[in-house]
Structure 1
Amino acid sequence: MTPPPHDTRPPYQQAADEIRKEIKSGRLKPGEQLPSHRELQERFGVANMTARSALRVLRDEGLIYTVQGRGSYVADAVVTQDGEVVAVVEAKSSKRPEAAKEAGGPAAPDTSEATGPYAETLLAIRDQLRTLNAEVQTLKRDVAELKEQQSPGKPTR
């Protein structure tokens, strides 16, 4: 990514803006895995910590979530008919929702104080579904690799 010469914002904010645009445009869909830190480093020409900072900004805004050891994923979003992201439902809310508003993005709803008899169960189920989604994507990649190894013309064992 070559930033415009007049853009004086830090590189992590520029990278976060690009990813945010992809999420809001629908190019990156809810539940879809984001590129790895290394891929983001190469794409934006930034250091590892800069890529991590960009993802942290998006996580604080509630646009993405991270599954330990699996990667970062686009959060579930409520989108209007004109494509505007108006709310992001996040199981682990940002500790600083005001930071997301300052950054120009939607703040994650504070679900840490959800009420009702089923709120805690629903949040636990959402976390389990996200972990399963990450595992499904890993399995899909593994299956694709196996199919590639067994493509016609290659002897199978």
Structure 2
Amino acid sequence: MTPASSAKPDRRPPYQHAADELRREIKAGRYKPGDQLPPYRELQERFGVANMTARAALNVLRDEGLIYTIQGRGSFVADYDGKGVDYTPPAWYLGNRAEPGGSEADELVIGKGKPGSANAAGPALTEMLTALRDEIRALSAEHQELRREVEALKKAQQDSPS
């Protein structure tokens, strides 16, 4: 392994570093579907970035379908089968990695275009998956809103004099 000073500098923006680390943790099972991710403030402290940078990192994961956000509640890991997200880093990133060959975690993150993956099936399947992912997000947000309404009704019923 080479010392850090002799490694090529990684030119990726900070939000991409944060998104990559969170993606690895989701893929490794640290955060399971339905788990809430840390709030922006914790991500800021953990990665040493600004609020907007933490938001941008979560936006990347949301665009990939790994997470969904409910306004006022936070960001949550989406249900996925581990095959639906096929992230391939840009070529300039792969050329600047400090460790040649990568790690097992990198292999989980980097899509290989295997038969049956979204890359192999073509754009029509990708569009359909994106539409389904958006519909699931909308239904999940609606589900959360209904749960809040039920909780509010229960509380109102408990608070009202009998």
Q: Same fold (TM over 0.5)?
A: yes
User: TM-score if structure 1 supplies the norm length?
Assistant: 0.57
CA distance in structure 2 between the aligned counterparts of 1:40 and 1:134, rounded to whole angstroms: 27
Displacement of 1:87: 1.5
Aligned to 1:16: 19
What is the Cα-based RMSD across aligned positions, in Å? Answer: 3.6
More helix by percentage? 2
- Pick from 71, 81, 86: which aligns with 2:83? 86
Aligned to 1:56: 59
Q: Which runs of 5+ in 2 are unaligned?
A: 91-109, 112-117, 119-125, 152-162
Aligned to 2:131: 111
Displacement of 1:8: 1.8
Higher-Rg structure is 2
1:30 counterpart SS class:
coil
Change (3 A) 1:36 1:75: same
CA distance in structure 2 between the aligned counterparts of 1:68 and 1:16, rounded to whole angstroms: 20
CA distance in structure 1 between the aligned counterparts of 2:24 and 2:133, rounded to whole angstroms: 30
CA distance in structure 2 between the aligned counterparts of 1:110 and 1:27, rounded to whole angstroms: 25
Q: Any runs of at least 4 consecutive aligned residues in structure 1 with deviations exceeding 2 A, and if so which?
A: 100-108, 110-114, 122-129, 132-135
- What CA deviation, in whole Å up to 9, does each residue of 1:68-91 have, x standing for no partner? 11110000011xxxxxx2026xxx
Aligned to 1:67: 70
User: TM-score if structure 2 supplies the norm length?
Assistant: 0.55
For the 8 Å contact 1:28–1:74, the answer to whether it is kept is yes
**Structure 2 counterpart of 1:13, one-letter code:** Q
| Greater relative contact order (Cα < 8 A, sep 6+) | 2
Q: Tell me the percent identity.
A: 55
